[in-house]
C-alpha cells in the first residue's frame, strides 16, 4: 500500500502524471483521460481483471469532503483504457486520521479504505472491496467498525461479503439478503447508514464528524440475489458490538 504520507507515494504521483499522457480511451461519463497531480489522494496498481497485466486505480479529491475513484485497465499497448468510476466513493476529511486511501487485499483485490480517527468522539473505519464481475466493477464486500471514544463499550463492527451474503455482525455469523452493488450506483451517504447525521446535542454534524458507517446501509443498496429465502433484510439487520481499533 502506498499513501500520500510516504515518499513512495510522491514518486508514484510523478509516474502517474507522466503515464497519463499516454493514450487512454475515455468516453463520456468514464474516468478522466488526465488528472491533475494535486488532486490525487492515493493510487495503487494491480491486476484487477485477471488478464495478467498491471491495471491502475486512482483516488481523486472530488471536493465537498468527497473522494472519487477512477479505474483504468492496461490496454496492452503501453497505455490505459477507462474501466470504471464512481463519485463520492469515500469520505475525505483532508487531514491525518480522516483521509482515505487505496489498498490491495491479500488476494490482490482493490480496496477503498476511509476513516475518521481524528475528529469528534465517534471514531470509525470502513473498507470497501471492489471486484470485476460481469464486465463491470462492483462493491463486493464491506468491513466497518466504530466506537465512541467517551464510551468504548458503545461499539459496532461488521464484515460482509456481498457476493455471498455471508459475514459477521460483531462476532455473530450472519447471512443477509444482499448482492454486489454496481460501482457507479454506490451512494456513500446511504453506505454510512440510515440514521440522521446529527450530533448528540441535536445539531447537524460536520461531514468530518459524520456518524460511523454501517453494513446495514450497504445491504439496503444491494440488489438481493435470486435465492434469498431465510436471509436477513436490511430492516432486520443490526451492526452488533465487536472487536475494533481502540479497544482490547
- Express each pLDDT in 159-173 by its tens digit: 999 898 888 888 888
Dihedrals phi, psi of 54, to nearest 5 degrees: -85, 120
Residues 131, 140 contacting (CB under 8 angstroms):
yes
Helix (H, G, I), strand (E, B) or coil at 220: helix
As given in the structure block, the three cell numbers for residue 109 are 483485490
Helix, strand, coil percent values for the chain (each to nearest 5): 15, 40, 45
* 9 alpha-carbon distance from chain centroid: 19
Per-residue pLDDT, 189 = 65
Name 20's Cβ contacts closer than 8 Å, sequence gap at least 6. 33, 34, 35
As given in the structure block, the three cell numbers for residue 16 are 502517474
How many angstroms separate the Cα of 188 from the Cα of each of 18, 103, 181, 210, 212? 31, 18, 12, 12, 12
Per-residue pLDDT, 240 = 59
Task: Please list the ranges in the chain whose pLDDT falls under 50.
Answer: 1-29, 193-209, 228-230, 234-236, 243-248
Q: According to the 3-state scheme, what is the secondary structure of 22-76? A: CCEECCCCCCCCCCCHHHEEEEEEECCCCCCCCEEEEEEEEECCEEEEEEEEECC
Closest CA to 161 of 184, 182, 183, 178: 178
Residues 110, 101 contacting (CB under 8 angstroms):
no
> How far apart (Å, rounded) are the C-alpha atoms in residues 17 and 37?
6
Ramachandran category for residue 135: left, alpha or beta (phi over 0 → left; psi -120 to 50 → alpha):
left
Domain boundary assignment for the chain: 1-24+35-103, 119-248
How many angstroms separate the Cα of 4 from the Cα of each of 40, 43, 94, 121, 135? 9, 9, 11, 25, 31
Which run of H or of E encompasses 19? helix 7-19
Residues 45, 56 contacting (CB under 8 angstroms):
yes
Dihedrals phi, psi of 40, to nearest 5 degrees: -80, 125
pTM summary value: 0.75
Amino acid at each position: 500500500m502506498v499513501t500520500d504520507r510516504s515518499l513512495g507515494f510522491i514518486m508514484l504521483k510523478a509516474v502517474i502524471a507522466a503515464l497519463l499522457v499516454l493514450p487512454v480511451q475515455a468516453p463520456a461519463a468514464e474516468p478522466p483521460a488526465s488528472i491533475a497531480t494535486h488532486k490525487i489522494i492515493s493510487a495503487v496498481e494491480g491486476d484487477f481483471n485477471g488478464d495478467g497485466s498491471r491495471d491502475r486505480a486512482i483516488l481523486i479529491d472530488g471536493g465537498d469532503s468527497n473522494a472519487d475513484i477512477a479505474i483504468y485497465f492496461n490496454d496492452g499497448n503501453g497505455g490505459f483504457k477507462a474501466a470504471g468510476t464512481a463519485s463520492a466513493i469515500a469520505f475525505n476529511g483532508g487531514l491525518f486520521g480522516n483521509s482515505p486511501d487505496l489498498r490491495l487485499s491479500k488476494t490482490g483485490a482493490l480496496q477503498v479504505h476511509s476513516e475518521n480517527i481524528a475528529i469528534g468522539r465517534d471514531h470509525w473505519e470502513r473498507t470497501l472491496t471492489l471486484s470485476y464481475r460481469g464486465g463491470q466493477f462492483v462493491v463486493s464486500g464491506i468491513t466497518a467498525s466504530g466506537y465512541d471514544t467517551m464510551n468504548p463499550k458503545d461499539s459496532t463492527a461488521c464484515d460482509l461479503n456481498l457476493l455471498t451474503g455471508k459475514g459477521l455482525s460483531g462476532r455473530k455469523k450472519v447471512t443477509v439478503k444482499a448482492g454486489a452493488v454496481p460501482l457507479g450506483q454506490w451512494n456513500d451517504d446511504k453506505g454510512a447508514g440510515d440514521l440522521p447525521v446529527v450530533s448528540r446535542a441535536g445539531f447537524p454534524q460536520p461531514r468530518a464528524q459524520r456518524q460511523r458507517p454501517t453494513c446495514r446501509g450497504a445491504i439496503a443498496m444491494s440488489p438481493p440475489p435470486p435465492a434469498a429465502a431465510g436471509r436477513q433484510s436490511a430492516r432486520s439487520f443490526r451492526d452488533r458490538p465487536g472487536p475494533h481499533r481502540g479497544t482490547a
